[in-house]
Structure 1
Amino acid sequence: MKKIQFLSFAVLLLTATSCLKDSVNQPNPTQGGSENEVKGVYFSKGKGPYLAGVKSAVELSSLPQPLMFTVGLAASTLQASSVDFNMALSNEAANKLRDTLIAQGLDPANVEVLDPSLITLPASGTVDAGSWADSVEVILNTSALNAENVYVFAINLTGASNGFQAATGGLGTLAFQLSVKNRLDGVYSIRGHHNRAPYDLSYQDVAGDPSELLMDMITTGPNSVVYYWQAGGDFGHPIGLTSGLSWYGDFAPEITFNVDNDMVSVVNFVAPGSPVMGVFNNPSYNTFPSRFDPSDHSIYACFNYNNNPLRGFYDTLTYIGPRP
């Protein structure tokens, strides 16, 4: 169990620098830093338990759909001059992600590499002097996407200026797993409790204000969504504690609804899926059916972890509206 913690840039910098240390570049002392410093540009994926590719959801729309990502600098000091970087789509990385998803059990017929003609990616970007990162927008044409499919595409960093080098491996490739927003996607208010003694408190009893109980339910597949806790700033789920809202760092429920009967199943979204989560159905512990109610768009989810009846969650999610 852990309290909310926001990932600092120092952690990202340490991670990126460690992954770049085996590469060689030509230092530019005028930018600051030592002669032996390895400086690079890398994809900053931020927080979140990404299984295989950054899971993103888009509207099925004739309007251009933007996706944002961040390119950061790995260096010991802020730079006195701007640093340019170059990018390109990677068919090789996209196909690798497709193969991974199929190996995880997705139907090959429903996993497609997104047609490059539907992707508008700038060829370059710039991290301004005195900044650590640059936000980049890629534009997608989603008008002809199949809502039953998962689409993948990937971007490689290919070069950088001013003595910086493009990261390779995981920090130099950003792969996206794309789905069309499904009917569960949206913003919800959560009510309920976690029955782990002695913390058997309702979420709302320990919330400082109603905004702490807002959940983004984000599409992860044609019939699946994952909890994204707005107050925590990450994928996850609150638990009740007397000192305020907290969460389990390796714990993010992903629910899948059955299109035939609206019943809901639950798994752990966080790789490698431990602790194991599942639907909690035991009348002796006052459980209720886990389901989606299309009449008012509510979600009822009763689940536990490690099949332990004293580690249960009893959630009622009331629909507020669509996510931006």
Structure 2
Amino acid sequence: MKKVSLLLSLSVVSLAMITGCLKDKGFEDQKYGIQIQSDRAVSFPQAPTGITVSVNSQSTAQTLSGPAVAREADDNGSQEVKVTIQENNALVTAAGLTALPSGSYTLSPSPTVVIPAGKTVSDQLKITFNNTSTLDPNKTYGIGISIASADGGYKIASNLKNVLITINIKNKYDGKYTLKGQFYHPTVANRGFFTFSVEMQTSGPNSVKMFWPLADAYAHGWTAGGTPTFFGLQEPEYTVDPVTNKVTVQNVAAGATTFYTMAPGYNSRYDPATKTIYAKWGYNYAPGPTFDPAANREWTDTLIYVGPR
């Protein structure tokens, strides 16, 4: 019996020593092991990627949704939390974007955002742009927002305290369109009329580039034997003269070797009353230019505005 007691005593001592070894600095500093924390924190969930919005170029106000503020807490969000935010243009500069002019927009609510009791996320901030018609579509603008403080004992997650909103300006020709057209090719049988849904995406103050969702590419579709197809390395860009509404089309694909000529005798134009683009253009025209049935490739487009994209 004495031998058994001695062994038991040694086991207790060994267990105590092992337990004591577990209480080391690495464990207590949370470098390893399972840790249970009671910290409460607020953050921008969108901080890692930021937010990108596109706004129309217009003189009247437009409002879009922005980021929300979230919390992590050990009390299941039983209390209301008030979070103070502030604009931070340093984020805009660091990203190489252009800060919006002072007074050109408002954030709401600001400077206090409320996470209601029982919820983990606030309502999204609203960004109201007062007048975007004076902004340059060739520039990419930005708004930086940082969390400054929070009540209720909440800390600020230092790695999720800043969010950058990237703003693209869409010109007045930008949008979703129904493309109705015809393509001429001298050696392709059963070419004919086609109807596609396309997007015209801002590429300059008065220019839009055609994006064809069916091909998931910047391209101009046509049909061969009833089958939709398109040419590679051809990305048509439509430019509208703001004074005359005359339309020109050119291939802006990187590495392009094929370039366009507007069809002679056709009134390629933009109709502002109906937001319709009419254009006829192609390549391999004879000198003049004149249409050459043996060589020409030619599109005739009617682009009917459907709505914003």
Query: What's the TM-score, normalizing by structure 1?
Result: 0.48
- State the structure with more CA Rg: 2
TM-score (norm 2): 0.49
Which protein has greater RCO, CA pairs closer than 8 Å, 6+ apart?
Answer: 1
